[in-house]
Amino acid sequence: MLHWTPLVRRLSAIALLVIFTAAVYPFGRTDLIGHGPIMAILVAVASDGRRETVFLSAIKC
- Condensed to tens digits (0 to 9), the pLDDT of residues 17-35 reads 999 999 888 888 888 888 8
In a domain, 36, yes or no: yes
Length of the chain: 61
In the chain, % of residues over pLDDT 70 = 75
**Residue 18: per-residue pLDDT:** 93
**Residue 35: per-residue pLDDT:** 87
Q: Which range of residues forms the domain containing residue 28?
A: 11-60
In a domain, 2, yes or no: no
Helices 29-46 and 6-27 meet at what angle, rounded to 10? Answer: 170
Q: How many domains does the chain have?
A: 1
Answer yes or no: is pLDDT of 54 > 80.
Answer: no
Buried b (16+ CB within 10 A) or exposed e, 1-19: eeeeeeeebeebbeebbee
In a domain, 4, yes or no: no
**Residue 51: per-residue pLDDT:** 67
Q: Considering the entire predicted model, what is its pTM?
A: 0.71
CA-based radius of gyration for the chain: 14
